[in-house]
Amino acid sequence: MKKYTIHQAKSQLSKLIQQALNGEEVIIANRDKPLVKLTLVQQPDRKKLLGMFKGKISMSKDFNETPPDFKEYM
């Protein structure tokens, strides 16, 4: 855990963000009193939409055949 003053945080923000992205905990303090903690926000894992039902859905072999009782409407 590294501690920085508000003034240091203003001038080194991109460095502090990179530290947080690397998994380090960054504390921003005002006169040695910790105020905020800069940490990485974890994004929820999104499942892939394409192919998500693969193996879960099947079609019957006679899918394209016209049902016998429907032939009179054609």
- SS3 call for 57: coil
Q: Is the pLDDT of residue 7 over 90?
A: yes
Range 5-34 average pLDDT: 93
Confidence of residue 67 (pLDDT cuts 50, 70, 90): confident
Per DSSP bridges, beta strands 2-5 and 26-30 are parallel
- SS3 call for 63: coil
What is the 3 state secondary structure string of 10-50? HHCHHHHHHHHHCCCCEEEEECCEEEEEECCCCCCCCCCCC
The one-character DSSP state at 67 is P
Predicted confidence at residue 29, as pLDDT, reads 96
pLDDT single digits (tens) 23-62: 899 999 998 899 999 988 887 777 677 777 888 888 888 8
